[in-house]
Amino acid sequence: MNRAQQPSSLEQVRLWVQQARRIAVLTGAGVSAESGVPTFRDAQTGLWANFRPEELATEEAFRRDPRRVWDWYAERRAAMAAVRPNAGHVALAEFQQRHPGRLTLITQNVDGLHQKAGSMGVLELHGDLMVDRWLNPCLNRDLHGGEVAACNTAAAVPGRPPYCAECRNLLRPAVVWFGEMLPPGILAAAEHAASVCDLMLVVGTSGMVYPAAGLAVQARQAGAQVVVINPEPTDLDEVAHLRLTGPSAQWLPLLLAD
Ligand code: BV8
């Protein structure tokens, strides 16, 4: 076909969307950028200007300075109260509603915006920003031998971070920190979706964090068409058949409209 007849990238990807029986979408922080949520690579602001996220989002950082890491998450949680899903989140949710079972949404994000937009079955690889868990296994159960109620997160003593009055266990955000395993069941479901999809959209991620970024490689190796949607170059550009350069809140509504 001569250039005039070749489909534009948008037309080509829209064709792939229409033809795909199974679509997997892998999102990163960029899909929430137009909702005003700073991405992980954005320069940290204010209190956190001198810290890289990789330095704060670790168990070691939390054990070294629980208050600093707890405060960083408390500030991120507070900021989420005013945040709404954008047109990109909504386009994904509405496509799922119109085409039940055809689109599996895998996210690296912990902001819950896909669910707020109405997406279902979201595979949260890195957990949920708004959920806490105990830092250590509860000692209560062992201290008394019998079946003593384990530390109850609801009864945690308020603090920075909150703690167990019984055994001084600390609450921590239940997100997956660097160096921690992803939830095995969720990772397995994401790997399955990547291995059976006909099309993978890789949206708003730098492609730097593994094993999440490896899902795009897996989809490519399994024979799927892979499309990167991002205003900037990413570490997954070589894995993609096509790139759509620009913001996801602009591209996704165009791609996913019937
Ligand atoms: C693990 C929760 C193994 C916390 C996060 C190879 C294999 C396996 C592991 C590794 C490996 N190499 C290195 C590792 C270790 C590490 C890793 O990947 N390190 C990186 C830094 C190299 N991985 C891990 O530690 C993982 N665990 O591997 O365990 C193991 C084995 C044995 C025993 C124990 C463990 C765990 C990783 C999970 C870390 N937790 N989040 C929190 O949020 O506080 S990840 C964190 O970073 C975020 O959640 C986010 O997902 C991620 C950042 O990635 P992005 O989402 O891509 O965000 P980023 O800011 O980078 O990019 C934003 C993009 O948006 C940019 O491209 C930008 O251009 C674009 N954008 C901007 N505006 C828009 C836009 N796009 C579209 N539209 C716009 N408008």
pLDDT digits (tens, 9 = 90+) for 46-79: 656 677 888 899 999 999 999 999 999 999 999 9
What is the pLDDT of the chain when averaged over all its residues? 92
CA 37/CA 26 separation, integer angstroms? 18
CA 94/CA 253 separation, integer angstroms? 10
Comparing 27-31, 146-150, 194-198, which segment has the lowest mean pLDDT?
A: 146-150
Tokens 């119109």 found at: 98
What pLDDT sits at residue 153? 82
The single-letter code of the amino acid at 166 is: E
In short, whether 237's Cβ falls inside 6 Å of ligand 1 is: no
- Give, for ligand 1, the residue of 210, 228, 252 to mutate: max count of ligand atoms closer than 8 Å to Cβ: 210
CA 207/CA 211 separation, integer angstroms? 10
Length of the chain equals 258
CA 185/CA 251 separation, integer angstroms? 31
Which atom in ligand 1 lies closest to the alpha carbon of residue 42? Answer: 60
Q: Which domains does the chain have, with CATH numbers?
A: 3-38+84-129+181-256 (3.40.50.1220)
CA 194/CA 205 separation, integer angstroms? 16
Residues labelled catalytic: 126
Give the mean pLDDT of 1-20. 84
Distance 54 CA to ligand 1 centre (A): 9
What pLDDT sits at residue 140? 65
Assigned token pair, 18: 């229409």
Dump the DSSP string for 42-84. Answer: SPP-GGGTT--HHHHSSHHHHHH-HHHHHHHHHHHHHHHTT--
Give the model confidence (pLDDT) of 221-258 as tens digits. 999 999 999 999 999 999 999 999 999 999 999 999 98
